[in-house]
A and B are shown apart, each in its own frame.
Chain A
């Protein structure tokens, strides 16, 4: 970047330095109620009271069925959105799991830059929870994801507090079939694969579809959507919305869904 000397004022330089240091960001954060990252999809953002996924708090994402890769895809997409929303200052994200198996080429397809992704492997659940908390409190990351088998109310509360302290978003990936345990998470999502439409050129695979369910939301209402992943444009699109559980659903939409 180059500047012409005669046009650069001291004021402009000052504001630039402050922006680099993140001072304005810091001031702004304290004044705002809750900063949020857009999910990149208008109906989803609208369903959340913060008009986006609130950052610096804990969210849960659980799988709808066994052997389903959809939950990892949605998680990769969320991490990519959170990393982009955090800006260059802390754009790295961390993925904690008990085993390996994440595949770089596949993650990259959901917009997640693997150069900014740090993988952490912990053999024991206690190690994983410790690593999550350390990572959240460090404040050096945009988001931290943990694949956790079991986390009780105390564990989730600790994570929520750590997320607030480090101003870092926490995502907890839960295995399928778990009982809905009490949790301190601000939102809880469930995601499962849904049958795709046939590709336009024949019997091949169409765009992948996910059944996305906002199970619980502090200050919001549960909802369900059928979303479709457009891998050419790298974005989600809503294929259908199930409004039967929503109070504010317009009547014409109900008729359409029914």
Chain B
């Protein structure tokens, strides 16, 4: 992945990307013909043009490079879930690190996996190099600095394989590598016999650590770009598939297999991710969530069916993987989820809630739960529709009449109340005048000053239940205590039946 993805016509000609550095244009990356002409990253564009007058250049786009690399790394999860992006690329180009422990035999061995990977990337228009070794450091060095013929290094042979490579292959900063070279330590092999203490004194501990990492003497774990899922199944195709029915059939096959595994371990999935590997090396994802642990293929397939409709499969898919990032125990009893719903009705209800939540969004399907607060707008909150009902069994407080509809933001109204502490005589809301015939109140509700927030929230409110001439009932309040100097502000907070 060290060179530029280019069209076939561009690949044969010298081509490079440039970026501004210190007031001049500098080469950032060059393709093979350009490198053959002597052009190297870091060169000034003017020098490069002198070497190769026919050089084509475009401005480098690091964010686009990063996202392209990330997309490639996602595509590489077909080989192993442990894929990390090597963003810094100290002393060499950026790339991806794959931990293929225990995966190679699935592809016919390490050499076959390597050939498959490079071939696949080349078909997608990338000029790529890759290597297999027992340590990440050695693989990194071989992929970037070794000649082409030996790319699979047997465990234990790292020392010999790395000895002839330049010290820059140890993932050292350019400055450190330069100082080592000035001292005549050009090859990694020259470092093997040096005593560590003087080396550390002159160059810091990094050189020794990198050497140990490359030789596999210390562990260097790879942190994968995406969390590795223990619940994962995949299905590969000899020919790319693009028909919706084929993709649905593959999904159903994987879902059924996953559900069987879940059933064996008495578990259910809360979230499922379908990874669709396109033939061009990129990845599309479809994700579904459920309101309770589920392991019924039919239920899950109905949720996936919605997602598969709008999917861009490009030129087709050659691998489909299904994983369950969130898995929870699914015991036999499911009672107490929703008060009043018997066990017989619950699967149907849960299936419905999941379908609604997957299309409209989980926050759009909910239940009202009481909250112990005397501020009307805080006395309820929205809870997931099928969350455990244990906390929700508390009854609503029924001391005072409360409206059926409550405005999230109280609506300011023009009201006329002649006497302080009396209900208004009339008020205007949405260009309609309401003459008040009867009223109850006031009910004084003090702000929850301990909650902090805006001072307006801490103001005392005097609530009145009023009925207009037509019999419509409203919940009005006056904000703040009565003050002769101040014009009282009235709000409509809710509607009664």
Contacts and interface: CB of A to CB of B under 8 A. Distances in A.
Q: Is the interface of A mostly helix, strand, loop or mixed?
A: mixed
Contacts of B58: none
Interface string B365-380: 1111110000010011
Contacts of B56: none
B359 A104 contact: no
Given A121-B360, A193-B472, A208 B402 contact: no
Contact of A135 (B356, B368, B472): B356
Count class of interface residues, chain B: 35 or more
B128 to A, nearest CB: 45
A199 B437 CA distance: 12
At the interface, is chain B mostly helix, strand, loop or mixed? mixed
B469 interface: yes
A92 B349 contact: yes
Interface in B441-497: 465, 467, 469-474, 494-497
A125 interface: no
Contacts of B467: 195-196, 205
A117 B434 CA distance: 32
B42 to A, nearest CB: 54
B358 to A, nearest CB: 11
Contact of B401 (A22, A89, A231): A231
A205 B349 contact: no
A198 B439 CA distance: 10
Interface in A90-138: 90-92, 100-110, 113-122, 127, 130-131, 134-135, 138
B470 A102 contact: no
Contacts of A118: 353, 365-367, 385
Contacts of B430: 66-67
A247 B437 CA distance: 36
Contact of B437 (A91, A195, A210): A195
A88 interface: yes
A82 B474 CA distance: 27
Contacts of A21: 344
Contacts of B380: 103-105
Interface of A: 20-22, 65-70, 72-74, 76, 83, 88-92, 100-110, 113-122, 127, 130-131, 134-135, 138-141, 192-196, 198-199, 203-206, 208-210, 229, 231
26 contacts: A22-B344, A66-B432, A67-B429, A67-B495, A74-B497, A89-B342, A89-B344, A89-B345, A103-B368, A103-B376, A103-B404, A104-B379, A104-B380, A105-B379, A113-B340, A115-B392, A115-B393, A120-B356, A121-B360, A130-B359, A138-B348, A140-B352, A204-B440, A205-B473, A210-B497, A229-B497
